[in-house]
Amino acid sequence: MGTPGPPVVLYAAAQDWDARAVKANLQAFFIVNQTVILVGYGWAGVLTREVWRLAVAFALPAALGIALGMAAFGRVDQALFRRIVYLVLLGSGLALLVRG
C-alpha cells in the first residue's frame, strides 16, 4: 500500500489556491481514495471484527482532531497555513526516513 497523501498535499499547497480551495480539493481526494481502499479491503476480506473494533476505538480521537482542525482553520491566515502544511510534510518525510 502506498502513501498518496504527501505528494497530493504538496501539489495542492504549491498551487495558487487559497486555503479553502486547498482544503476542499484535499478532502475530495481523500474521500475518494479512502472509499476505494475500503472497498478493496472489503473485497479482499480483511475487514475483520477486530479491524472494526479498532476503527470504532479510534473514531473518537479522530473526531477530536477534526474538531480541533476545524476550529483552528478559521484562525490561521494564508501564509501561516502554507507554513503549517510544509512543516507537517517535512515532519512526515523525516519520520518516514527514520523508520526506513
Average pLDDT for the chain: 90
Mean pLDDT of 49-77: 92
CA distance 61 to 76: 22
Give the chain's domain count. Answer: 1
Angle at 30 between CA 87 and CA 1, to 5 degrees: 85
Q: Which domain holds residue 10?
A: 5-99
**pLDDT above 90 (res 82):** no
pLDDT in tens, 4-28: 888 898 899 889 999 899 999 999 9
Nearest Cα to Cα of residue 38 among 25, 23, 51: 51
